[in-house]
Amino acid sequence: MKKIRLFTPGPCTVPEEALLEMARPFEHHRTAWFKEVIKDCTEKLQKIFLTTNEVLIITGSGTAAMEGAIVGCHPAGSKALVCENGKFSERWGLICDQYGIANMRCKVEWGKPIDPAVVADHIAKDKSITSVIVVHSETSTATASDLEAIGKICRQHNKLLLADCITSAGALPLRTDDWGVDVLITGSQKALMLPPGLGFAAVSPRAWEVIEANKAQHSFYVNYNKARKSAKQSDTPYTPAHLLVRGLRVTLDLLLNEGLENVWKRVAGMAAATRAAASAMNVQLFSQRPADSVTAFNVPAPVVEKELRKMLREKFGIHFAGGQDAIEGKIVRMSHMGFIDSIDTLGAIAAFEHSLHKLGHNFTLGAGVAAAQKVFVERGM
């Protein structure tokens, strides 16, 4: 018997109701019925993002949505400040380069957050900067940055703020309108509890002004102007991954019925319990400002990362992610997103403990589960 338990920070566990919805016989996508589904999902996404901005549902993963946004928001003469503190933020700089968009990389050591004061400093020194690109929760290092403070700076200096909220939207406190996020991007396979294949964007009127006036430079497939025109009719420019949109309606209902603040609390509780477990197991965290949506653990010597993940996977069906680039083999990452709760988290911690113990890490077996359990009991979850 093998039960799959996804604790990877994407894809995450999809609830059965959504899987069943997507397995039902389907209609054509150019129908009044499907338009109604799109309209409903769009309104529900606005509730999740806490925004009145227009929302686009894009077929393609989060990267596609980000590519369309970056290209659209940077006409000739613009310049992006790319805040880079991990693998995903690095990718956004590469997209700028690919399209010949002028950009400055504000590089921070992996594991550290973006310092809003440094962003302010760059903006003050370089008047040609027109936008700031930042990752709210850098999944590669499990680090959260202070998006609210960065948003405040962007508003003060009238710069567009493009935020990758792929592992924050639907998991961490995120207030798009209050924080002044001009383009919020997320994807389907993280906190929104679906398989991969959809990207989402919430675009402010300020950003639309720039995108609309940008006649020269757009991605062909993810062209925001075209997507917007269709979205106004609750439609899409090309064939959408419409089964995913159907599943989306189900997962958005689950999140909204739980209550957005309760979702944030559940995720924060699982993260806090996991951090308490790490400390009790004598395992260090990689991040200096841990995000609640994902936790990165330094793999303690003499444990070998590949063996650890293999044991978790083969013995317990538990999938953790590894590290990328320079931190490959040094960390493992565990998600707190998706259709999971305190009991699932306790199970994952128990399997993690078992594997660490078997692979030679020295600590008191059971200490991790006990510490996590204590946090859950204190929080009533």
Ligand X SMILES: *Cc1c(COP(=O)(O)O)cnc(C)c1O
Per CB under 6 A, which region of 23-31, 58-66, 228-236, 284-292 contacts ligand X?
Answer: 58-66
Nearer to ligand X, 169 or 250 (CB): 169
Nearer to ligand X, 10 or 290 (CB): 10
User: 51: which 2 tokens?
Assistant: 């925004």
In whole angstroms, the minimum distance from the beta carbon of 289 to ligand X comes to 15
172: contact with ligand X by CB under 6 A:
no
Per CB under 6 A, which region of 77-85, 161-169, 273-281, 330-338 contacts ligand X?
Answer: 161-169
Nearer to ligand X, 140 or 345 (CB): 140
Closest CA to 132 of 144, 147, 143, 111: 147
Per-residue burial over 196-233, b if 16 or more Cβ lie within 10 Å, else e, is bbbbbbbbbebbbebbeebeeebbeebbbebbbebbee
Question: Which residue in 34, 49, 88, 320 binds ligand X (CB under 6 A)?
Answer: 88
Which residues 6+ apart lie within 8 Å of 206 measured at CB? 160, 182
Count of residues that interact with ligand X, criterion CB under 6 A? 12
Question: Which residue in 167, 214, 287, 355 binds ligand X (CB under 6 A)?
Answer: 167
Rg of the chain over all Cα atoms, to the nearest angstrom: 21
Question: Which residue in 14, 104, 135, 331 binds ligand X (CB under 6 A)?
Answer: 135
Question: Which residue in 61, 225, 230, 373 binds ligand X (CB under 6 A)?
Answer: 61
Alpha-helical (H) ranges within the chain are: 16-23, 32-49, 62-72, 87-98, 116-125, 147-156, 176-179, 205-213, 224-231, 242-258, 260-280, 305-316, 342-358, 367-378
The 8-class DSSP code of residue 285 comes to: B
User: 328: which 2 tokens?
Assistant: 């490959």
51: contact with ligand X by CB under 6 A:
no
303: contact with ligand X by CB under 6 A:
no
Nearer to ligand X, 196 or 317 (CB): 196
352: contact with ligand X by CB under 6 A:
no
Nearer to ligand X, 71 or 280 (CB): 71
Nearer to ligand X, 339 or 363 (CB): 339
Is 19 in contact with 248 (CB distance < 8 Å)? Answer: no
Question: Which residue in 72, 116, 187, 247 binds ligand X (CB under 6 A)?
Answer: 187
* Bridge partners of residue 56, in order along the sequence: 201
Whole-angstrom Cα distance, residue 317 to residue 354? 13
Nearer to ligand X, 111 or 368 (CB): 111
In whole angstroms, the minimum distance from the beta carbon of 196 to ligand X comes to 6
Interface contacts to ligand X, rule CB under 6 A: 10, 61-63, 88, 135, 139, 164, 166-167, 187, 196
